[in-house]
């Protein structure tokens, strides 16, 4: 990475960055990387789908499509003012003709900045809170969280405006098992322990350990139930929280895709997988053929057993627990569908 500071003037050489308000482009500059390419080194290949926006700062790049057609882009040219091969998946392979420098920007962050500018309602500076990290720092941290990747930029704008910051100390209980669900949480710094009390273990069984970029608290909000675990800070840290109503409106629905029973059967027949998140005793009473059973409260602990390349149709009796489980999986990049109405509405017979 180049040691030279990236200035607002440098970013204004490129489109559509030249249209951003000064406050927003200054915030973007702090999250923009300048990197170097050696002659012959690849910047990206055809088929790449990483959400990065690239601009050529110095040198020359060769763009080659799958049919072998080539184009040379030189820094300072009209073509270099625009993002390099912005369509995803990329249709070109980009290779340095000579020693070159390029700018790499998180595409989701850029999209949010452009949305703020075009709505004309907010600027990054308005989001700064007293004794808080710089607004662009914590927002960028959340944008790297998979939970936020599928949310429309207009919703992200509202979420960031409504989130509240919490300074937390080691041993501080953020949520307690049995309490009413009131907030959704995202960790900015520090680490937390997730434990669940059982009749045989009053001290609680450790279900997971969470760190920066992880989120929690969604199960009770989605299922409209009480907290099923306790989350305690292991270290000093910073946590952002979003109220229940804002979470339901701005985050829950954009992240969940619901299907009826007929569509669910088609997905499974095409290679998908039933994922039943009820208790084992419920599962034994009746379940879909070839379904796997991971109770909701174990979903984080056993997530490594799931295939990130597979589509999961998540089900329970009514749809509440499956919605909570699907949300957790979607946060971590899985592809899920929620069975609308649950198994009680599917006509599936109880098993003897």
Number of alpha carbons in the 13 Å side-chain half-sphere of residue 117: 18
State the Cα–Cα distance between residues 296 and 282, nearest whole angstrom.
12
Q: Could you tell me the two tokens for 114?
A: 């452009």
Work out the percent of the chain whose per-residue pLDDT is above 70. 85
Give the number of other Cβ atoms within 10 Å of residue 36's Cβ.
15
Its pTM stands at 0.56
CATH 3.40.250.10 fits 256-345, yes or no: yes
Q: Is the pLDDT reported for residue 195 higher than 80?
A: yes
State the Cα–Cα distance between residues 145 and 296, nearest whole angstrom.
21
State the Cα–Cα distance between residues 310 and 338, nearest whole angstrom.
14
CA nearest 326: which of 318, 340, 315?
315
- Can you name the CATH fold of 128-252? Jelly Rolls (2.60.120)
pLDDT per residue over 51-89, tens digit each?
Answer: 889 999 999 999 999 999 999 999 999 999 999 998 889
Q: Which residues of the chain does CATH 3.40.250.10 include?
A: 256-345
pLDDT value for 330: 85
Q: Which residue has the higher pLDDT, 120 or 245?
A: 245
Neighbouring residues of 310: CB distance < 8 A, sequence distance ≥ 6: 271, 272, 273, 335
pLDDT value for 118: 56
Q: Does a cis peptide bond (omega within 30 degrees of 0) precede residue 16?
A: yes
pLDDT per residue over 31-53, tens digit each?
Answer: 787 899 999 999 999 999 888 89
Q: Which residues of the chain does CATH 2.60.120.10 include?
A: 8-109, 128-252
Q: Is the pLDDT reported for residue 352 higher than 60?
A: no
pLDDT per residue over 95-105, tens digit each?
Answer: 999 999 999 98
CATH class of domain segment(s) 8-109: mainly beta
pLDDT value for 132: 42
Across 56-70, 152-166, 179-193, least confident range: 152-166
Neighbouring residues of 123: CB distance < 8 A, sequence distance ≥ 6: 21, 23, 24, 116
From the candidates 168, 192, 315, 316, give the one annotated as an active-site residue: 316
Provide the pLDDT confidence category of residue 112 given band limits of 50, 70 and 90.
low
Q: Which residue has the higher pLDDT, 29 or 243?
A: 243
For the question of residue 64 being annotated catalytic, the response is no
């Amino acid at each position: 990475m180049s040691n030279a500071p990236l200035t607002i003037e440098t970013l204004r050489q490129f489109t559509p960055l030249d249209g951003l308000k000064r406050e927003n482009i200054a915030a973007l500059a702090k999250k923009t990387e300048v990197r170097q390419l050696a002659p012959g080194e690849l910047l990206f290949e055809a088929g790449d789908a990483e959400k990065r926006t690239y601009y050529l700062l110095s040198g020359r790049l060769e763009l080659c499509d799958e049919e072998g057609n080539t184009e040379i882009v030189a820094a300072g040219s009209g073509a270099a003012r625009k993002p390099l091969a912005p369509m995803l998946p990329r249709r070109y392979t980009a290779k340095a003709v000579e020693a070159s420098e390029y700018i790499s920007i998180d595409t989701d962050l850029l999209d949010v900045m452009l949305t703020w500018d075009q709505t004309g309602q907010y600027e990054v500076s308005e989001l700064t809170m007293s004794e808080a990290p710089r607004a662009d720092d914590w927002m960028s941290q959340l944008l790297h969280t998979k939970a936020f990747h599928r949310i429309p930029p207009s919703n992200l704008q509202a979420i960031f405006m409504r989130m509240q910051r919490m300074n937390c100390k080691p041993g501080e209980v953020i949520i307690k098992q049995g309490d009413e669900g009131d907030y959704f949480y995202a960790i900015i710094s520090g680490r937390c322990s997730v434990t669940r009390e059982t009749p045989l273990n009053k001290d609680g069984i450790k279900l997971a350990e969470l760190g920066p970029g992880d989120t929690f608290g969604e199960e009770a909000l989605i299922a409209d139930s009480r907290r099923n675990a306790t989350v305690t800070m292991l270290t000093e840290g910073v946590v952002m929280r979003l109220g229940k109503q804002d979470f339901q409106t701005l985050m829950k629905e954009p992240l969940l895709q619901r299907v009826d029973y007929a569509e669910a059967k088609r997905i499974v027949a095409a290679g998908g997988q039933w994922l039943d998140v009820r208790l084992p005793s419920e599962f034994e009473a009746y379940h879909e053929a070839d379904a796997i059973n991971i109770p909701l409260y174990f979903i984080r602990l056993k997530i490594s057993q799931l295939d990130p390349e597979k589509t999961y149709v998540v089900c329970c009796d009514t749809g509440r627990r499956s919605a909570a489980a699907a949300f957790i999986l979607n946060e971590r990049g899985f592809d899920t569908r929620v069975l609308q109405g649950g198994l009680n509405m599917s006509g599936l017979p109880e098993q003897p």
